[in-house]
Amino acid sequence: MTITDLVAPEAILPALKVNSKKQALQELAARASALTGQNERAVFEVLLQREKLGTTAVGYGVAIPHGKLPKLEKLFGFFARLERPIDFEAMDGQPVDLIFLLLAPEGAGADHLKALARVSRLLRDKSVCEKLRGADQTDAIYALLTDTAKSHAA
């Protein structure tokens, strides 16, 4: 499984305008709903429930909200570059400006974990994050995510 399998160009928001974690999750749920055919409220609730367990902000301005949905047929990724960093309750205290949303079918099990690990590995690379922060076009962000991911495949 590659990043290309997870995220499509239409699943990238190059300049999302939000003011809070909740608003970011709502916007991402709405976009994910439109692209997956899933119920927007159900997507939002799954993301909120996961955040209640602990923040999905992984540090260095990156968050990877994720959840499982019963009617989803395959793993689905969505990337947003925020116009302004927001508080995401990160352990390092840094605001978040890069979000990779990952949705998985309820029975995904190991595939869900592998996808999370792959996204996490990619976004732990500070040079990748700096390039993503500097890109403001969908095609440039998609190319960075997918081309760079090839060198992080392990």
Active site residues: 66
The span from the CA of 26 to the CA of 24, in Å, is: 5
Residue whose token pair is 């997918």: 146
For residue 85, the SS3 value is: strand
Query: Any alpha helices (H) in 61-125, and if so which ranges?
Result: 110-123
CB 32 within 8 A of CB 76: yes
Which residue from 104, 33, 9 is spatially nearest to 64, judged by alpha carbons? 104
* 18 alpha-carbon distance from chain centroid: 15
